[in-house]
Structure 1
Amino acid sequence: MSDSQLHDDEEDNNDVFIDQSDIIHEVALDDEVLPEACDPNSDSDSEIEEVDDSDHIFTGHTGELYAAACSPTDMALVATGGGDDKGFLWQINNGDWASELNGHTDSVSSLGFSHDGKFLATGSFDGTVKIWDVAGNLKGTLDGPEGGVQWLRWHPRGNVLIAGFDDSSTVWMWNTDNFAFLMSFNGHASGVTCGDFTPDGRTICTGSDDATLRIWNPKTGESIHVVRGHPYHTEGLTCLAINSTSTIALTGSQDGSVHFVNITTGRVCTFTTFDI
């Protein structure tokens, strides 16, 4: 199926609108029930106690920090990655690192916890993704195409991982249970700068330097929709987010604009275009 078939002409698009009927619940705010602002000149004993900054500074990295993530199951566990080629797991309740993650040969550019909080994936400019348990033990390495890892995302309910690379126009997907390569998603004309599974796990959305958003079937690798051209972005995509119902993708671009896209139809919601 050609790209032109996948993306309807502008005049054929059905615009998506939000109006008063879409409001789920509206809450009226009464100024009298809002908390009063703290008076900086007050001598009251009820003032907030000053916190020692040293209690919240974690030291371990010797280079720039590029990535951070919080565990979805352990509120005290966080992970960081940086330019010193290392990752760290931190226990924030005691202000110390729990595990130092060594093994990459270049900067750790991205990382993320699995949906169940049992594993951490670290992506590096060395072109590999490493899988660790939360005790800091290396479980395996996922090799990709040439180029450093720009981003990675776990499936919302399974041990499947996707990643995008800076020198490749493809997205790769692996099974992290057996560290097997599953498939690559091919179609972008330039580096894939951002991507994610929809929360229901049924679709993948990816953005590229080629100024397109592609919507994929993760089972077949088929490109379901290609979103490009007027009224969409004119320069490369830099970021995306997907709403909780897996129906709308929000994308940002180097052109300074933000767009909403209907994931089901692949159509741009023209009323929600913002220039920044």
Structure 2
Amino acid sequence: ETAQQGRRVVSGSRDRSVRVWKIEGNMGRTSQTLSGHTDHVTALAFATSSGELISAGCDSRFIVWDMTQPTVKLVHRVDTTHLGPITSLAISPEGVSFVTGSTDKTVQVWAMIPARKKSTAVQQRAAAAAAAAAAARDPKALAVEDTVGEPELALKLQGHLSDVTCCAFGQTGASLASGSLDHSIMLWNPVAGAHVGILVGHTAAVTDISYSADGRLLLSTSRDHHLRIWHPRSGQTVLVLKQGCGLHSARFSPDASQLVVAGDDGAVRLWSWVGREGSTSMGQMPRKPNLFSRGYTLNDDHGNGNDNGGCSSETAPHSEGSMRTTMAFRKEGSNPLSFEGQAHKGAMTAVAGFSSEFEYATEAVTRQAVAPRRSSHARARGGDASKGGVLETTGPVLSGGEDGFVRKIAAGRGAGKVTMTFKGHSKAIRAIAASQDMKTAVSASDDGNLMLWDTVTGQDSGILTGHKGAVLACCFVSGGERVLSGGKDQAVRVWDVGGGGGGGVLIAETALQGHTGRITGLASIGRSSFASCSADRTARVWDLDAGEMVRSMTGHSGGVTSLTVTSNTALVVTTSLDHSVRVWDVRDPHGGGGGGGE
């Protein structure tokens, strides 16, 4: 943004050009195309103090552009002494220097000398005459506004063991960080030309770094799927976030209370770091407590599969540590949605998914559910709805939170939209389960109750009361006519919900005792048995009809936190505070020890 020309967006491309875009008035239109590079443009930086733009590319040169005039003009074109493509560029906050990083493993520091301010009238006339003479010799030559005051190379910073991929200044020009394919982040004082520290923690190439506005935090992204926040002065890691894909870049919001992250999967993620000390949101809840206020679907076709993804073949080596790797986009893979906003006012504490094998049609007027239709493999079979086939769909999701609400989130075309909110609990939701036919859900809460919900109409169909304390786990027994629940009172309760609650209160038909700690997980094993786990470090299998425990599975050295049963009901999987996962074969009639492995 300049005072003379207002706000604009500038982009560099593999087509060797720099484009200036209007974002006011004729939004989205290119106001000017800037030519001067002979290879891919890889980095851009804007000096607010002088109104100058610097572009750099795989041709190992940088160009300084004057952005204060209606027509952008080339001011300087400098061929650097880098022995490889320039990969990154950063301008100091004071605007008196800038740095270039390259595949030659070095960072070069340049002193900016504004030509328009330093040159005399005689020098300006001489420069204009030289430019006119050059244009006469070559009509296609790009005129240079001023050759006086060209940026000067101040020093070179060496220390990285591989390509420099990114660089960023801190709050002053005396604080600089650079990232590399060698997995490290180097800290420099470019004024003194001194190496002042190194940040080690990433296990793959560092792709981007940036400072918070106050210079107290450093943000880095890497191909190791992790985003890291550092205290650059102490070298300590503040926060590590795993994204599940290689990352390209990330930035702090002005008050560093939010992070925006871009990765290989084509999604842009927004993380809220609410309550960070010193931020405007300190001690506050998110401003948007409603679930997923906006969602964006991104095109996963990032470009021509034959594109080399980096510099031209003449300048990019075919090694893993080349520009080709660090700049390439992944064409194939998943195309997830990215959401802005918060799911609940407070933490999300429980999630339940509906099976993707069922698709429901809901009549718009009566809102009555139609019988489920099998949809698995329909797409592979080329199924057609008019001929009885059903297109494959993804079922919705139920989420519960500390706010006591249960929300139904749509999937498929309307993914991310809240279609229903179930209200009835007075405290946090701890568990949610859905019946096999997907028409009914049950939620367990810290208020000591369970609630049955009609997932089509959104109405509660019964309240299950009887626990003494918070209810922490629940599930449907196969068939959907009974519900199991457990909690802090150490009992597993069985509820008959076959006739529906009709909006009334239901009392448990039986309570099964045996655990000596709170119940943390429940799962049905067919129609006549189920498994439970507890903070007492055990998991148990019960005969539901007899109301007796038939097997106790011991081996964990910490409280068991959750369990699940495989689809063929042959194996039970448990997790524990002892940091292990164990797998138990419940078909063993002798009930011995169980095969467990971390």
Please indicate the TM-score interval, normalised by the length of the shorter structure: 0.7 to 0.9
State how far apart, in whole Å, the 1-side matches of 2:351 and 2:542 are: 27
Aligned residue number for residue 191 of structure 1: 518
* Superposition pairs of residues 229-268 of structure 1, within 5 angstroms: 232-264=555-587, 265=589, 266-268=591-593
Cα displacement string for residues 189-222 of structure 1 (whole angstroms, at most 9, x for unaligned residues): 1111112111x23311111111222111111211
1:212 aligns with 2:538: yes
SS in 1 for 2:437: coil
Post-superposition offset of 1:78: 1.8
Aligned residue number for residue 461 of structure 2: 139
Cα displacement string for residues 136-179 of structure 1 (whole angstroms, at most 9, x for unaligned residues): 111111113111121211112222111111x2111111112344
Please, which of 319, 333, 344 is the counterpart of residue 61 of structure 1?
344
Question: Identity of aligned pairs, percent?
Answer: 22
Structure 1: any 5+ residue segments left out of the alignment?
1-35
Q: Tell whether the 8 Å contact from 1:60 to 1:97 is kept in structure 2 after alignment.
A: no
Q: Tell whether the 8 Å contact from 1:248 to 1:260 is kept in structure 2 after alignment.
A: yes
Q: Tell whether the 8 Å contact from 2:309 to 2:329 is kept in structure 1 after alignment.
A: no
Cα displacement string for residues 62-97 of structure 1 (whole angstroms, at most 9, x for unaligned residues): 221111222223434221110111111122332421
Letter paired with 1:193: T
Letter paired with 1:168: D
Aligned residue number for residue 551 of structure 2: 225
Give RMSD over aligned pairs. 3.1
State how far apart, in whole Å, the 2-side matches of 1:223 and 1:52 are: 43
Please tell me whether Structure 1 or Structure 2 has the larger radius of gyration of its CA atoms. 2
Post-superposition offset of 1:53: 5.5
SS in 2 for 1:268: coil
- Give the TM-score normalised by the residue count of structure 1: 0.73
Q: Which has the higher contact order (CA 8 A, sep 6+)?
A: 1
* Superposition pairs of residues 41-52 of structure 1, within 5 angstroms: 41=310, 47=331
1:113 aligns with 2:113: no
Q: Tell whether the 8 Å contact from 1:147 to 1:168 is kept in structure 2 after alignment.
A: yes
Aligned residue number for residue 422 of structure 2: 101
1:87 aligns with 2:409: no
State how far apart, in whole Å, the 2-side matches of 1:76 and 1:203 are: 27
Aligned residue number for residue 174 of structure 1: 495
Post-superposition offset of 1:44: 10
What is the aligned length? Answer: 232
State how far apart, in whole Å, the 2-side matches of 1:250 and 1:46 are: 35
SS in 1 for 2:403: coil
SS in 2 for 1:110: strand
State how far apart, in whole Å, the 2-side matches of 1:86 and 1:190 are: 27
Segment drifting more, 246-255 vs 214-223: 246-255
Post-superposition offset of 1:58: 6.4
Q: Tell whether the 8 Å contact from 1:260 to 1:268 is kept in structure 2 after alignment.
A: no
State how far apart, in whole Å, the 1-side matches of 2:404 and 2:547 are: 32
Cα 1:110/1:50, change in 2 over 3 Å: closer
Structure 2: any 5+ residue segments left out of the alignment?
1-304, 311-323, 360-393
* Superposition pairs of residues 31-46 of structure 1, within 5 angstroms: 41=310
State how far apart, in whole Å, the 1-side matches of 2:524 and 2:399 are: 22
SS in 2 for 1:220: coil
